[in-house]
Amino acid sequence: MPLIARIRDLRQNVWLALVISFGLFALAFALRFAFGDLLGNVPFITLFPAILVSALIGGIWIGIAVTLLSGIAAIYWFLPPYHSLALTWPEGVVTMLFFFATAAIQLAVIDILNRATDEAAAQRDRTAVMFQELQHRVANNMQFVASILRLQERAIEADPQAGARLLADIRRRFDTMARIHRRLYDPAGVSMPLTQYFQSLCTDVLEASGAKNVVCVVNATHADLDPQRMLTLSLLVTEAITNSVKHAFKGEQQGTITVQFDHNDAGYAVTVQDNGPGLPDGFRIENSPSLGFRIMRSLATQLGGQISFSGPGMSTRLVFPQ
């Protein structure tokens, strides 16, 4: 593999490949000329290796150039009438036809080999990049999981009696992360419109919470977000929807949650809003011990954005750059 990589690198350096290829041609010609009549029955024996190696290290066009030079040299020096570009009929013509046919087969085989080598190298490079990206994403996700566990640990320390409920919240959040991962990396979902994607996300949350009295309305414009940012955004939207389901609608109360996603040259904006009673009078988000609010603020920071909470109802709005 290192040799193949070196040959590929050499092929990308056109001038160096030209110098080496024409040097090989000169060496092959000199050898053929030196052996003289000893190679009279095989006049092209030293030229074919030069053509093959030139095409391998220089590509198809340099291989063709060396082939033409070799053909002209063979006609002028090694085929009668010597020192002339004229060809005898039928011997000289048939000989040169076989020469060019053989050289063409060589060039075609080497070109196929070069293309396969380049594709294999490109695939290897893509795989290496994807592996590094995967490592980065796994590290980020593990860091996020660790952050949630630290927050829950503090909550349990403050209220040991709520340990079971808080552990159930952890399980729910991890289940949500798993579902989002499966959806993001499902080949069938790569081209899914954002409206459909967020609608499926809402459906997952509503089904998991058993909130049959709540409907979710989504309106999203098209945008290309990389999977890592989509994961972070999905977790934040899920947290906002979950917060509305838990606190905005009591009992069998009917409710609507609206998810709006827009973007312009300045960046992206997503708003999750319910038609519930809103925040209590005097309630201050920054003083709230709610894990959900802290998680949303943390996710907003990961996206490099600003998150705000307001009314009517409960409105969570995130603005983040492209």
Q: What is the distance in angstroms between the CA of the first residue and the CA of the last residue of the chain?
A: 40
Same domain, residue pair 103 and 229: no
Q: Crossing angle for the helix pair 47-58 and 14-35, nearest 10 degrees?
A: 170
Cα–Cα separations (whole angstroms), residue 283 to 67, 275, 278, 279, 289: 83, 18, 10, 6, 11
Domain of residue 168: give its range. 159-320
- For residue 101, pLDDT over 80 is answered with yes
More confident residue, 251 or 70: 70
Same domain, residue pair 91 and 27: yes
* Tens digit of each residue's pLDDT (9 = 90 or more) over 201-240: 888 778 777 677 888 889 888 887 877 788 888 888 888 8
* Tens digit of each residue's pLDDT (9 = 90 or more) over 124-156: 777 776 566 556 556 666 666 676 677 667 767
Q: What distance in Å separates the CA atoms of residue 66 and residue 178, rounded to the nearest whole number?
A: 59
Same domain, residue pair 104 and 11: yes
DSSP-assigned letter for residue 108: H
The band of 18, judged by pLDDT with boundaries at 50, 70 and 90, is: confident
Q: Which residues are CB-contacts of 219 (< 8 A; sequence separation ≥ 6)?
A: 195, 258, 259, 260, 261
Decide if 146 is inside a domain: no
Among 26-30, 162-166, 261-265, 285-289, the minimum mean pLDDT is found in 285-289
* The CA-based dihedral angle spanning residues 291, 293, 298, 299, taken in that order and rounded to the nearest 10 degrees: 110
Same domain, residue pair 105 and 253: no
- Structural domain count, the chain: 2
Decide if 143 is inside a domain: no
The predicted model gives 156-176 an average pLDDT of: 71
Decide if 7 is inside a domain: yes
CATH number of residue 285's parent domain: 3.30.565.10
Look at the block and give the residue holding tokens 């999977």: 227
Q: What distance in Å separates the CA atoms of residue 231 and residue 222, rounded to the nearest whole number?
A: 16
